[in-house]
A and B are shown apart, each in its own frame.
Chain A
Amino acid sequence: MELTNISSNTSPCWLLRTESIVILADCCLDFSSLIYSRHHHKTCPPRVLVPNVHQYVDLYEIDVIIVSNYHTFAGLPWMSKSWKEKDWGGVIYCTLPTLEFTKIYVQEIGLYMEEVENELRNSELTDKPLGNMPGEKMVEQEQVDACFSYVKTINYGEPIDLFGIASVIAHSSGFCIGSCNWMIEIYDKKIAYICDHTSLKTHASRVDTKALKDSDILILNGLKSCPGFSPDRSVNDACATLDETVKRGGSVMFPVYPTGVMLDLLEIFIDYLAQMGRGHIPFYFISPIAKAALAHAQIYPEALSEAKKEKASLPQFPFDHDLAIEKGKLKIYEDTNEGLSAIFRGPAVFFGGHPSMELGLARKLGKDWANNPKNKFIVTECGFQNNTFAGRLNVKHAPVDTRMTTTGAKLMVQELKPKELVICQAILHTHPKLRESVIPPRIFHPGKTHDFSSFKTYRDVKMDVSAASKVTLQPTPGRPDVCVGPISGTLNISNGQFRFTTDYEGTSNIEQKLWGAMTVEGLAKQLRLDGFKNIKVKGRKIMLDGGFVQLGTQSTHIHHDSNSVRRKILLSCRKTLTP
């Protein structure tokens, strides 16, 4: 069993390969190229980086892809072209909310990138052809849809059998609606796969850590990317900056992803301003997918926290967004062209994409507000470090990253007691102390493969007593405590469980090897027992109707012109042979 770290950064992308199954876990988009583009290539259309999975495996060979949350899904649509060409038979497994939020997330990025590209094309500044940036442009909608057509949605705690060779099961990771960790079982080895795990209280259902215990390998991903910031302090900072800014008559924009922690923040900030007596300040969520993003947040009550479940059972919407819309406190717009210029004069609070501030509403406001120090951007998403916004005075960096700290991760490793711990090398930049974990981690540099093939693994086969009774076991001369006997039949698999049945049909054209020795007398007796008539023994030869059997020490010749009789004789021999 080989494990490869495909990712060049902390965003997970792992390839797990055995002779009989190839599993890809997660595939994120990397937005660092967007920022690079702004600084270095002003005339280049925006590009994103996609993990080079095809460098490590023929995409067609992948049997199963498991996806932990909407972030880690977004890199997959780039592969669907090769899949479609070769009529790929694989499956992508994720929860239903992950699928739906990925659709929203990918659609938003696609529209944003297209918008900038069109703008550059139409711009009078560049009559030259547009430059080329490293990275990928957005794939066609057709390809995106094709990618989603490979998805089979699953629930938390739903075991998925993979061809009887392996199984995967998703467990809540507490990070966002539908996010999960995985327990992968290959043969009888357990691999726990953790991605974007949080034990803090969020809107999502509580993390299920217990299910990840006692694994042979623990692959640990998605720790906090801004270790200096606690979520509580960041929220407080953001609240303070928000209040200060609107007090001075300025506007605030939160450049966010369309779901995840923003669902909480929207509630928190609306509440906060109301508490501060500024309930009249309007909130806007402006994105082509704003409506769908908020609507979808409300319809997975099973995947939400206890408090939100409680609200759903009343029945009320789990999030207060719809209530805020009803009360006119929150307004939703698809794009900035809906005659919104008036509201941008503020003071108002805006939510919208994109956290890199290179796309969408954030990009537009970034230009408009460049000369207006009254207005502020508060970046609450993580993955965009402070230095990204260097030189931009009106940007406040207050990342609300609920994922595990180094200490949390070390404690969890201690609790889960895996036999091996696997991390990617990039994670050590932000969490160097992970090296000191109770179980010394095996560190994977980008592109590194390790072979865990020292595993010898077993599966259970069940058989009925009646099937077992047809097998005769005999002690071996070397080890009288060990018995052996030939067994023939059919191995069946259903729901991941092997079962043995003694239907002899179909076994005849399969290589058969027998062992041991027998005496002439022994075989003659068995043949008589099995219904052969006119048995005569002549030396080492047994005569029977229509043929004979010639016995050597380690070989026996069966002479008969009938297929079925020869087979019957062979069965008698099987019973007579002793090791």
Chain B
Amino acid sequence: MPDIRIVPLGAGQDVGRSCILVSIGNKNVMFDCGMHMGYQDARRFPDFNYITGGDQTTLTPHIDAVIISHFHLDHCGALPYMSEQVGYEGPIYMTMPTKVICPILLEDFRKVVTKRSAGAETNFFTSEMIKNCMRKVEIVGLHQVINVDDELSIKAYYAGHVLGAAMFKITVGDESVLYTGDFNMTPDRHLGAAWADRCKPTVLISESTYATTIRDSKRSRERDFLKKIHRCVENGGKVLIPVFALGRAQELCILLEQYWDRMKLNVPVYFTAGLAEKATNYYKLFVNWTNEKIKSSFVERNLFDFKYIKAFQKEIHMNQSGPQVCFATPGMLHAGMSLEIFQNWCTDEKNCIIMPGYCVAGTVGHRLLHGERHFKFNGVNVTSRIKVEYMSFSAHADAKGIMQIIKMTEPKNVMFVHGEAAKMEFLAKKVQKDMGLPCFTPANGETVNISCPPQIKVKIESDLARKIMKRSLNRAAFHAALVNDGNELELLHPDVAMKKLKVKQHHFQMNTSVNLPEGNSTPEQIIVSLRLLIKTYIDGSLMEKWVPVGNMMNSIELASPDMSQTISIVAEKLKTFDTFGNHKSERVLKVTWPLSVDDEIGILLSRLSKEFALVVPR
């Protein structure tokens, strides 16, 4: 059986550039192909030379499948580079929402990079490459098992996190690896909770962004967010929230809508048009990827048709006096409406800007978050006085959620990626200690080998399997004969095996004696009282359906319901001597029974020896 080899090219003890290579036997799969927000040089992409060994070949012969968990750039940002520039012609798997939204983000990313570098980035992937790359994508439905080839299959599970996010399981033979991507174990306002069946993967590779965080902090962050907005508008300020049109924006909009409703606020809230409408359409089309509440009401009222949040009209709203809140795209303030609004509002200290996500280095958003306050827009120097807040709202599982997915799927090994080294180390120790599972936290480029003990295949006739399993739903003990006819192994019922192989049964009789308390009653008297005791066993559950047979004075015979087995109990009086040489009469019960009722007798004897002392006449 194949061993498993895993090496992160990105996201090993780090967040960003997720790219994890998994080999099961001779099948190689790449989970995610992301970019790193923190770098602008070659390090922004995973080092694919690792795979090709530096020679000039493409990745196609080395990789059997590429799987993208969701549309965030740190999970798909390197995809066109990988498939079109390094070269990969094999299949790329995604869910449909990811396939639809991913190219929009890639195009956005491409524009930011090429614009920022002002032509210096001559070798960045082009729009055409994004299109060609997306042509290689095959759609995976939730729980649908896709056979990549005869040996390798993949299956997707709902992950929450963002629209279309999925966890993926790959299986080769008996071994499987489940990769969570980014996931969320608690439903939020617009998405459901991650779920997988008890699929017992050989390895579970889990993200660990919030490895040491617990859920409450998310609630307080949301309260904080609302408080900051409320305070700013109370003082007559304007709040700018630059967002990417898809993802957390919808969650924040729903959050704000509900707050506005509860607090009966009438301060206007806007969302810049364009992509926002498009985004809402994605949520309408893929309503089955949202949560139950949204699904159940979508015919009558789409939760994304907001009551308070109106379309932003530049001419009217940009310089409208008084407070307002505006969600504006793009999220990193690198161009477009959000940047334009920022230019207009940033000089007023009453105003506030809340950055709810990452910003790529070089963007205005990134500079602002790093303390810069002086900008040059269209040749004019501007000093920003706007209040700057950063709050991360990404929806990841917390420590409890990570433990939950481990319990839910029952892996044999656990691996953490997509987190900070110290935090994942802490959680890894906990997993090892509390669950007794081997837990790995490899750095980028570090290989983890997991050996999988080989499996032997035995066939069993369905009828026999059914008879065995009749006793239980998922596990049942049995005795059988294992037969090897030179070609294959088969489990047979002993009767069938003996008949088939012309082998005779070997009977076993078990014998034991039970010492009775001292007394003078005769064996016949003992048997009389014993019959009464055994009758209570037969009437009760202990020896249900056993039948007393024969009518001997000093023994009892019991036959099994089908009369094939018998148990005999003989009472005897033995004359022995005690240690002082005095006569002593010892009374013994001799019990004999066949092997097949072994345990019943064990139970019976332990009962007998306790209870008999009470009933036997002295």
1-60 of chain A: CB within 8 A of chain B:
19-20
* Cross-chain contact B278 with A315 (CB below 8 angstroms): yes
* Cross-chain contact A514 with B508 (CB below 8 angstroms): yes
Is B535 on the interface with A (CB-CB < 8 A)?
no
Say which one of B260-268, B284-292, B378-386 lies at the interface with A.
Answer: B284-292
* Cross-chain contact A509 with B485 (CB below 8 angstroms): no
* Cross-chain contact B512 with A566 (CB below 8 angstroms): yes
Interface residues as binary, B58-101 with A (CB distance below 8 Å gives 1, 0 otherwise):
00000000000000000000000000000000000000100110
Q: When chains A and B are docked, how far (Å) is the Cα of A476 from the Cα of B479?
A: 19
Is A481 on the interface with B (CB-CB < 8 A)?
yes
Say which one of B138-146, B212-220, B343-351, B358-366 lies at the interface with A.
Answer: B138-146
Is B610 on the interface with A (CB-CB < 8 A)?
no
Is B315 on the interface with A (CB-CB < 8 A)?
no
193-223 of chain B: CB within 8 A of chain A:
197-200
Is A526 on the interface with B (CB-CB < 8 A)?
no
* Cross-chain contact A464 with B469 (CB below 8 angstroms): no
Q: When chains A and B are docked, how far (Å) is the Cα of A505 from the Cα of B477?
A: 8
Is A240 on the interface with B (CB-CB < 8 A)?
no
Say which one of A344-352, A388-396, A482-490 lies at the interface with B.
Answer: A482-490
* Cross-chain contact A483 with B484 (CB below 8 angstroms): yes
Question: Among the listed A484, A508, A554, which residue makes an inter-chain contact with B483, where contact means beta carbons less than 8 Å apart?
Answer: A484
Is B235 on the interface with A (CB-CB < 8 A)?
no
Given contact pairs A476-B503, A515-B498, A560-B512, A461 touches B457 in the complex (Cβ within 8 A)? yes
Question: Among the listed A158, A164, A464, A556, which residue makes an inter-chain contact with B453, where contact means beta carbons less than 8 Å apart?
Answer: A464
* Cross-chain contact A512 with B598 (CB below 8 angstroms): yes
B504: chain A residues at CB < 8 Å are 515-517, 554
Q: When chains A and B are docked, how far (Å) is the Cα of A459 from the Cα of B469?
A: 13
B473: chain A residues at CB < 8 Å are 163
Q: When chains A and B are docked, how far (Å) is the Cα of A84 from the Cα of B348?
A: 67
Query: Interface range on chain B: under 10, 10 to 19, 20 to 34, or 35 or more?
Result: 35 or more
Min Cβ gap B117→A in Å is 29
* Cross-chain contact A457 with B602 (CB below 8 angstroms): no
* Cross-chain contact B459 with A459 (CB below 8 angstroms): yes
Min Cβ gap A294→B in Å is 9
B468: chain A residues at CB < 8 Å are 491
B231: chain A residues at CB < 8 Å are none
Is B115 on the interface with A (CB-CB < 8 A)?
no
Q: When chains A and B are docked, how far (Å) is the Cα of A503 from the Cα of B475?
A: 11
Min Cβ gap B166→A in Å is 12
Say which one of A249-257, A298-306, A419-427 lies at the interface with B.
Answer: A298-306
Min Cβ gap B451→A in Å is 12
Interface residues as binary, B439-460 with A (CB distance below 8 Å gives 1, 0 otherwise):
0000000000000011111111
Is A296 on the interface with B (CB-CB < 8 A)?
yes
Min Cβ gap B481→A in Å is 6
Is B392 on the interface with A (CB-CB < 8 A)?
no
* Cross-chain contact A557 with B511 (CB below 8 angstroms): yes
499-520 of chain B: CB within 8 A of chain A:
501-514
* Cross-chain contact A566 with B482 (CB below 8 angstroms): no
* Cross-chain contact A315 with B285 (CB below 8 angstroms): yes
* Cross-chain contact B459 with A460 (CB below 8 angstroms): yes
Is B434 on the interface with A (CB-CB < 8 A)?
no
Question: Among the listed B281, B456, B459, which residue makes an inter-chain contact with A315, where contact means beta carbons less than 8 Å apart?
Answer: B281
Given contact pairs A156-B144, A300-B288, A579-B503, A493 touches B469 in the complex (Cβ within 8 A)? yes
* Cross-chain contact B299 with A296 (CB below 8 angstroms): yes
A517: chain B residues at CB < 8 Å are 504, 506
Question: Among the listed B485, B507, B595, which residue makes an inter-chain contact with A482, where contact means beta carbons less than 8 Å apart?
Answer: B485
Question: Among the listed A464, A465, A510, which residue makes an inter-chain contact with B477, where contact means beta carbons less than 8 Å apart?
Answer: A510
Is B25 on the interface with A (CB-CB < 8 A)?
no
Is B399 on the interface with A (CB-CB < 8 A)?
no
Min Cβ gap A457→B in Å is 4
Question: Among the listed B96, B288, B459, B505, which residue makes an inter-chain contact with A513, where contact means beta carbons less than 8 Å apart?
Answer: B505
Chain B's closest residue to A164 (CB) is B469
B497: chain A residues at CB < 8 Å are 484, 515
Is B486 on the interface with A (CB-CB < 8 A)?
yes
Given contact pairs A157-B144, A462-B455, A573-B508, A313 touches B479 in the complex (Cβ within 8 A)? no
Question: Among the listed A312, A463, A471, A488, which residue makes an inter-chain contact with B478, where contact means beta carbons less than 8 Å apart?
Answer: A488
* Cross-chain contact B503 with A484 (CB below 8 angstroms): yes
Q: When chains A and B are docked, how far (Å) is the Cα of A188 from the Cα of B461?
A: 10
Q: When chains A and B are docked, how far (Å) is the Cα of A516 from the Cα of B502?
A: 10
283-335 of chain A: CB within 8 A of chain B:
291-292, 295-296, 298-302, 309, 312-313, 315-318
* Cross-chain contact B282 with A460 (CB below 8 angstroms): no
A228: chain B residues at CB < 8 Å are none
Is B579 on the interface with A (CB-CB < 8 A)?
no
Given contact pairs A485-B482, A490-B476, A459 touches B505 in the complex (Cβ within 8 A)? no
B505: chain A residues at CB < 8 Å are 513-515, 554
* Cross-chain contact A513 with B466 (CB below 8 angstroms): no
Question: Among the listed B278, B285, B483, B510, which residue makes an inter-chain contact with A566, where contact means beta carbons less than 8 Å apart?
Answer: B510
Given contact pairs A302-B96, A461-B458, A484-B481, A512 touches B595 in the complex (Cβ within 8 A)? yes
Is A154 on the interface with B (CB-CB < 8 A)?
yes
A558: chain B residues at CB < 8 Å are 508-511
A87: chain B residues at CB < 8 Å are none
Chain A's closest residue to B302 (CB) is A295
* Cross-chain contact A473 with B482 (CB below 8 angstroms): yes
Q: When chains A and B are docked, how far (Å) is the Cα of A478 from the Cα of B460?
A: 23
A484: chain B residues at CB < 8 Å are 481-484, 497, 501, 503
B498: chain A residues at CB < 8 Å are 513, 515
* Cross-chain contact A500 with B509 (CB below 8 angstroms): no
* Cross-chain contact B501 with A465 (CB below 8 angstroms): no
* Cross-chain contact A157 with B145 (CB below 8 angstroms): yes
B462: chain A residues at CB < 8 Å are 165, 187-188, 457-459
B141: chain A residues at CB < 8 Å are 155-158, 302
* Cross-chain contact B281 with A458 (CB below 8 angstroms): no
* Cross-chain contact A299 with B284 (CB below 8 angstroms): yes
Is A128 on the interface with B (CB-CB < 8 A)?
no
- Could you list 11 examples of A-B contacts with CB < 8 Å? A19-B466, A20-B466, A158-B142, A295-B299, A463-B456, A487-B480, A491-B475, A493-B469, A493-B474, A517-B504, A556-B507
7 residue pairs, one from A and one from B, having the closest CB atoms: A509-B599, A157-B144, A187-B462, A513-B494, A555-B507, A506-B477, A158-B143
- 20 more contacts with CB within 8 A, not counting A19-B466, A490-B476, are A157-B146, A298-B284, A302-B139, A315-B100, A317-B285, A464-B454, A473-B482, A478-B503, A485-B481, A486-B482, A488-B478, A489-B477, A490-B478, A491-B478, A492-B475, A495-B199, A508-B602, A511-B479, A557-B510, A570-B595
